[in-house]
Structure 1
Amino acid sequence: MLGEEGETWDMFKVAKDEFPEDNEIGEYDGFVITGSCNDAHGNDLWICKLVALLKKLDAMKKKVLGVCFGHQIMGRALGGKIGRASSGWDIGVTQVHLQPSKIFTSLKMPAFLSVFECHQDEVWELPPKAEIIARSNKTGIEMFTYGDHFMGIQGHPEYTEDILLNIIDRLFSRNLIEESLAEEAKSKLETSEPDRKAWKKLCTTFLKGKL
């Protein structure tokens, strides 16, 4: 979704303990931390290593975009609080209310954007220097920025409808969600769709430092 012609992207499967070497970090213009089926508030060795890496990237002022799990682990690395959402799972299409921000003003974004969501965890509280830039009726911190170099998005700008339908079926087959929630989530997809072009523009513009 985010790659453009002439760019080189490398993938590190951090859940399998694949991390960039310390002497490689400086060569990258930016990083994207994706979603995961793991808990960002867990203490697996690779999760703790990822928190340590994010602290290094913060010190280096590297551009980092965090999506869902990435959004939460960034919040944790910066000293915020994360955990299970008190309102339970959020699955389907959610309308996100964009707060007044120079980011949205410069891109001429509307007041609301719809995005695919699939999470049961959330960022409870951010450190004082972080700025909440989007909320929804279900999640208080849908987006945040930290300085000019970190941005977190709770939703999934990169998802397609097929991807989300597949995940819903997988969650239900593993008894992680009730059938009623699965059907409700699927019904949401029939009546609304995400603003994928706007999200792509927002993410790429942030990562390329054009804001």
Structure 2
Amino acid sequence: MGEKRFAVLLCAEDSEYVKKLYGGYFEVFVGMLGDEGETWDLYRVINGDFPQDEELKCYDGFVLTGSCSDAHGNDLWILNLVNLLKKLDSMNKKILGICFGHQILCRALGGKTGRAASGWDLGVRMINFLPSKHFSSALKLPVYECHRDEVWELPPHAEVIGRSDKTAVEVFKYKEHIMGIQGHPEYTKGLFLSIVNRLLHCNLIQESEAVVGKTRAEEQVPDGEAWKRLCKSFLKGSKPTAITSLKPTTTLSLL
């Protein structure tokens, strides 16, 4: 078998914080999902850097990142990204979407996204996975949340596999090759707090919202290793990975 190759479709500009501590968001995602012997490429789609059509077949999977932009927006790069995702879907390529990536996947596949009626979700929130063919039993995993948009309507043939007490579509799966996650399994506490401070500085959130988000981030720590195994199991089609969290009888497999 040849070397596996993946691409990160970067939908956000790197902050000074993430560049200083991690080298950029690309390094954050490769650090979470990459394995020895793989090739990972970066496309800054937010700046118009897209893979060429003839390159698409070379990749085993794609990762879509978060963004400060709206997935329901009509900026040129967003429209080009929607078209690219439709091509990748037609090729049955594995795609993992995070936050904005989760929402733009929904849009590209025929669903609807928009502002959450209940406003921003900041902090750590518990995700309740639904018993289904993907899971041996119900699973609960906390994750960092940082979004004010959400999926309003799922695409045809998609299914919800995770909900929270605030957001109805926290995780969805489309057929066997696409998965979207509304939360941020790639975040560390420091990265989350840095982003909240940036949002506050830019007057995108109120002081009270920042306090609530930071407080919730202090009260619970996400299981980063569980999310890492879940994402890698889906993206790479590896053998079923049992994940236990919170309750010893709770396991899941995405295969």
TM-score band w.r.t. shorter chain:
over 0.9
| CA deviation after TM superposition for structure 1 residue 190, in Å | 1.4
Separation (CA, whole Å) in 1 of partners of 2:50 and 2:204: 30
Separation (CA, whole Å) in 1 of partners of 2:234 and 2:133: 12
Given residue 69 of structure 2, which amino acid in structure 1 is its aligned partner? N
**CA contact 2:107–2:155 (8 Å) conserved in 1:** no
SS of the aligned residue for 1:165 comes to helix
Given residue 184 of structure 1, which amino acid in structure 2 is its aligned partner? V
| CA deviation after TM superposition for structure 1 residue 110, in Å | 5.6
- Unpaired segments of 5 or more residues in structure 2? 1-31, 239-254
| CA deviation after TM superposition for structure 1 residue 103, in Å | 2.6
Residues 1:153 and 2:181 are matched in the alignment: yes
The counterpart of 1:180, out of the listed 198, 202, 208, is 208
The counterpart of 1:205, out of the listed 230, 233, 238, is 233
| CA deviation after TM superposition for structure 1 residue 100, in Å | 1.2
Aligned twin of 2:94: 63
| CA deviation after TM superposition for structure 1 residue 184, in Å | 1.0
Given residue 204 of structure 1, which amino acid in structure 2 is its aligned partner? K
Residues 1:42 and 2:70 are matched in the alignment: no
Aligned twin of 1:139: 167
The counterpart of 1:163, out of the listed 182, 186, 191, is 191
Structure 1: which 4+ aligned runs deviate by more than 6 Å?
none
SS of the aligned residue for 1:41 comes to coil
Count of residue pairs brought into register by the alignment: 208
Separation (CA, whole Å) in 1 of partners of 2:197 and 2:103: 24
Given residue 232 of structure 2, which amino acid in structure 1 is its aligned partner? T
After superposition, give the CA deviation of every residue in 1:134-163 in whole Å (9 maximum; x if it has no partner).
000100000100110000000000000000
SS of the aligned residue for 1:9 comes to strand
Separation (CA, whole Å) in 2 of partners of 1:188 and 1:114: 11
Aligned twin of 1:82: 113
TM-score, normalization: structure 1? Answer: 0.96
Given residue 79 of structure 1, which amino acid in structure 2 is its aligned partner? G
57-66 vs 189-198, greater mean Cα deviation:
189-198
Residues 1:128 and 2:159 are matched in the alignment: no
Aligned twin of 2:133: 102
TM-score, normalization: structure 2? Answer: 0.80
After superposition, give the CA deviation of every residue in 1:157-199 in whole Å (9 maximum; x if it has no partner).
0000000100011111111111011011111111101111111
User: How big is the alpha-carbon RMSD for the aligned residues of Structure 1 and Structure 2?
Assistant: 1.0
Question: Quick one: higher RCO (CA 8 Å, sep 6+), 1 or 2?
Answer: 1
Separation (CA, whole Å) in 2 of partners of 1:4 and 1:102: 27
After superposition, give the CA deviation of every residue in 1:89-113 in whole Å (9 maximum; x if it has no partner).
00100001101133333xxx76210
The counterpart of 1:16, out of the listed 38, 44, 47, is 47
Aligned twin of 2:140: 112
- Unpaired segments of 5 or more residues in structure 1? none
Separation (CA, whole Å) in 1 of partners of 2:218 and 2:103: 28
Separation (CA, whole Å) in 2 of partners of 1:128 and 1:137: 24
After superposition, give the CA deviation of every residue in 1:48-96 in whole Å (9 maximum; x if it has no partner).
0000000001000000000000000000000001000001000100001
